[in-house]
Amino acid sequence: MNRFISWITFSLLIININNIDAFARDPSKSVGCELERVNRMVGYVCTNLNLDKIPKNLKSSTEVLDISHNHIKNLYRTSFEPYLDLRFLYLQENRIRDIEDETFAKLEDLEAINLSGNGLIHIPPEIFTLPRLRNVYLADNSFRSFENIQSPIIAPLQKLDLSRNNMDKIPKELGILPNLVFLNISSNPLRDLTPQQFSPFCHLNEVNITDSRLKNMKCDCEKVTRFLVRKRDIEIFSFYCDGNSAECRFDNSSFIETDDYEKCMSIRREVIEHETAKVTWSIIGFSVLGFLIIFIGCLYCIHRRNVNQMRKKIMINNASVKPKMTEASNRDPVSDESITGSPEKLLIKRSDV
């Protein structure tokens, strides 16, 4: 009886182990994610799968992960621990409200994150410390401010989408962003917007500030619009101010940049100088290398030519000397011996023996 019970438990154990094994062999299937190659990167598409947490069993080399349109509510410090190679992370259209501190802290290769369409009130502060993060999409959440982030921002931000939130101004905590080219802050209750709030973004190229409270404050609206379009030559999408702007009076100080603009420009200049210095040095390096190669090549050619000339001379000399040599060999039996004493002949002589 005892034996029978132990046999049963043993077989159950085996079945279990087999199940676990099957699970481990094709782990992504277990949650329905599709493995895809995106530009030679390993990627998973896990959209519309009713997931309520980040799947655990995907390849650890995953670089692209799309978990949009699911039911995820919370993210934890351990959520992305298995996927430290992540470069593109799509989490839009979930129900994320709480993100534990440091959830994204170890994703040092992350280049883009989409957290649009969630219920976020606080930005996970560590995302702005990631060294490669360029594009951040935070549209359609409930941000009021960025009070909890650490300035200055380390991430080299290029695109920032803050549209459809609750911001009344551009968060000054963003500080100087010398790489920012695109800012979408449309559909926010922007009230307190001044040209000077754009000073820290000296490379800005496209802005969407439509659908704000500013529209009916006609002179403020006009001031920002003139500043962006005329002074900065920024493309601003469909931003029309109400009323007749002829009544608005602006003096030159209305459009003066703050010190942040100069700081931003000098960071850009440094970066550009650094880049051009690198290019110059590599051009110099390659030129020296090319010169050396050509120089050595020439030396070799000259050497070959000299050798050939020497050979020709020797052949000519030989031709003129030969009769004498034969004469000499006739006279000298020792040299004759040395000519016939070639190894082959020696061999023949030996085998003859």
Ligand X SMILES: *[C@@H]1O[C@H](CO)[C@@H](O)[C@H](O)[C@H]1NC(C)=O
Q: Which positions lie near ligand X, rule CB under 6 A? A: 90, 92-93, 114, 116-117, 137, 139, 161, 163-164, 184, 186-187, 208, 210-211, 237-238, 251-252
* 53 close to 75: Cβ distance less than 8 angstroms: no
Scan for tokens 């020696």, then name that residue.
Answer: 346
Angle between helices 333-340 and 259-331 (to 10 degrees): 130
Residue pair 66/47 in contact (Cβ under 8 Å)? The answer is: yes
* Distance (Å, whole) CA 133 – CA 107: 9
CB atoms within 10 A of CB 200: 23
Q: List the beta bridge partners of residue 4.
A: none
Nearer to ligand X, 2 or 50 (CB): 50
* Closest to ligand X by CB, 183 or 217: 183
The nearest distance, CB 112 to ligand X, in angstroms, is 7
Least Å distance, CB 131 to ligand X, is: 20
Nearer to ligand X among residue 186 and residue 225 (C-beta) = 186
Closest CA to 129 of 114, 149, 112, 147: 149
In the complex with ligand X, the residue whose CB is nearer, 83 or 296, is 83
CA distance 337 to 340: 5
Minimum distance, C-beta of residue 239 to ligand X, in the bound complex (Å):
9
Instruction: Single out the residue of 159, 138, 126, 33 nearest to residue 92, CA to CA.
Output: 138
Q: Minimum CB separation from ligand X for residue 48, in Å? A: 12
In the complex, the smallest distance separating the C-beta of residue 203 from ligand X, rounded to whole angstroms, is 17
Distance, first Cα to last Cα, the chain = 94
* C-beta of 211 vs 336, nearer to ligand X: 211
Which of 94, 197 has the CB closer to ligand X? 94
Instruction: Rank residues 55 and 117 by Cβ distance to ligand X and give the closer one.
Output: 117
How are the residues of the chain apportioned to helix, strand and coil, as percentages rounded to the nearest 5?
Answer: 45, 10, 45
d(CA 254, CA 311): 87
Which residue, chain included where needed, has tokens 């839009």? 92
Shortest reach from residue 209's CB to ligand X, in Å = 8
238 or 320, CB closer to ligand X? 238
Beta bridge mates, 45: 34, 66
Closest distance to ligand X from the beta carbon of 105 (Å): 22
Residue 182 beta carbon to ligand X: minimum distance, rounded to whole angstroms: 7
CA angle 18, 5, 3 (to 5 degrees): 110
Sign of CA dihedral 343, 344, 346, 350: positive
The nearer residue to ligand X, 128 or 239, going by C-beta atoms, is 239
Count Cα atoms within 13 angstroms, Cβ side, for 153. Answer: 30
Alpha carbon distance 92, 291 (integer Å): 55
Q: How far is the CB of 126 from ligand X (least distance, A)?
A: 20
Q: How many CB atoms lie within 10 A of CB 138?
A: 24
